[in-house]
Amino acid sequence: MPRGGCRFCGMLLQYVFLDLGMSPMANSYLKAHQLNQMEPFYPLRAFVCEQCLLVQLEEFESPDHIFSDYAYFSSFSDAFLQHAKNYVDMAVDRFSLGPRSYVVEIASNDGYLLKNFVKRGIQVLGIEPAQNVAEVAVKQGVPSCIKFFGTQTAQELVSEQRRPDLIIGNNVLAHVPNLNDFVGGLKILLAPEGTITMEFPHLLHLMALNQFDTIYHEHFSYFSLNTVVQVFAKHGLTIFDVDEISTHGGSLRIYARHEDHHASRVTERLIAVKKKEEALGFTTLAHYLSFSEKARETKRALLDFLIRAKREKKSVVAYGAAAKASTLLNYCGVREDFVDYLVDRSTYKQGHWLPGVHIPIHDPERIKETKPDYVLILAWNLKEEIMKQMSYVRDWGGQFVVPIPEVRVCS
């Protein structure tokens, strides 16, 4: 059982949402000299709180250990670069942003999003705890504060400069172990008439599309709209609108304001998403407890495919050394006996090995050299982009395989 209560409401956690066994930290990529060293594994077990229905993991490693030297750079994905540009176009228009505006992004990564505001002459600040990633942002002209965000950082920023008109947080809310401190910081930092937008994977899609591989130790929480509304309301923030977006297999973008700033009314769109969750059972504990068998069946199906391919003397490689790849391959026990190697566009990951299963990571160009029969797309949320980039695989009769939501061969 977990060592503490729910990270939002404090309720004792008694119900297991999904148990994926023992797994290493998903982004702890290994160098050659580390392959024969002891590697820490931790329980990868998600609980659901019976009171607030927040799905969550225990905290085994501190955020400082996980994120101080981070392996994820957003700019390696064309899809995320376009998503960022589209978001900035929308935000500038919707919130009437201009040279007098001030925008802060939390977990700003390598500046892939904020650089679009900079080009428009809008003042920005990125808050990014990983120094190696923040340094890349600074080189792109994006001022960056290398700190973790919470109430203390918010108070320091308020004392030093103006409060922002817009606070952005894309794919950071799930990474926060101290959820109340983080959202409390948003309340402190936001200008009186400002807006917060946050994007995070929608638990509804995780369950409906069997995206269990998005569960890993660096993701502490998994949100429905109904639960995240409770979290923000506790800290005096009202979520007034929501967009359903396609990133990460289906995400939500929420819009929040101070509860006493009534200019933005709660939209019909938000009410509709809440009602959809209620209709699907997301306000009842029993719905959450029905999910485990889907993950087990995907494990069996993937192993069936790989065993059959190997018995037929077919070669299999994998594309995408993302955290979800670590979760899936470690859960299924897939090593080089089934997958010859991984490829990834991130030069930070190339020349390393995936944690736990120790599969080597190469440049995608290696696929042209070895001409595998199958390319297993582990970054399934980018499958269209990947299949387009690697369409030449079909020249030698190769096929793509997507494991989520179910194992499927794409000719």
Identify whether residues 342 and 378 lie together within a single domain: yes
Identify whether residues 158 and 260 lie together within a single domain: yes
Give the CA dihedral 255, 220, 352, 170, nearest 10 degrees: 10
pTM for the structure as a whole:
0.90
Identify whether residues 332 and 250 lie together within a single domain: no
Lowest average pLDDT, out of 110-114, 194-198, 241-245, goes to 110-114
Distance between CA 233 and CA 9 in Å, rounded?
12
H/E element, 402: strand 399-402
Task: Mark which of 259, 288, 317 sits at the end of a domain.
Answer: 288
Domain that holds residue 390: 300-410
In a domain, 143, yes or no: yes
My answer on whether omega of the bond before 40 falls inside 30° of 0, hence cis, is: no
Question: What's the mean pLDDT in 238-265?
Answer: 93
In a domain, 33, yes or no: no
Identify whether residues 176 and 111 lie together within a single domain: yes
H/E element, 252: strand 251-258
Identify whether residues 71 and 193 lie together within a single domain: yes
Q: What is the pLDDT of residues 3-46, one digit of tens each?
A: 579 999 999 999 999 999 999 999 899 999 999 999 999 999 99
CB 187 within 8 A of CB 258: yes
Distance between CA 204 and CA 214 in Å, rounded?
13
Task: Mark which of 288, 322, 350 sits at the end of a domain.
Answer: 288
Number of domains into which the chain is organized: 2
Taking the CB of residue 103, how many other CB atoms lie within 10 A of it?
Answer: 24
Q: In CATH, what number is assigned to the domain containing residue 325?
A: 3.40.50.720
In a domain, 403, yes or no: yes
Task: Mark which of 288, 319, 340 sits at the end of a domain.
Answer: 288
In a domain, 184, yes or no: yes
Q: What is the pLDDT of residues 264-301, one digit of tens each?
A: 899 999 999 999 999 999 999 999 999 999 999 999 99
In a domain, 182, yes or no: yes
In a domain, 58, yes or no: no
Identify whether residues 223 and 365 lie together within a single domain: no
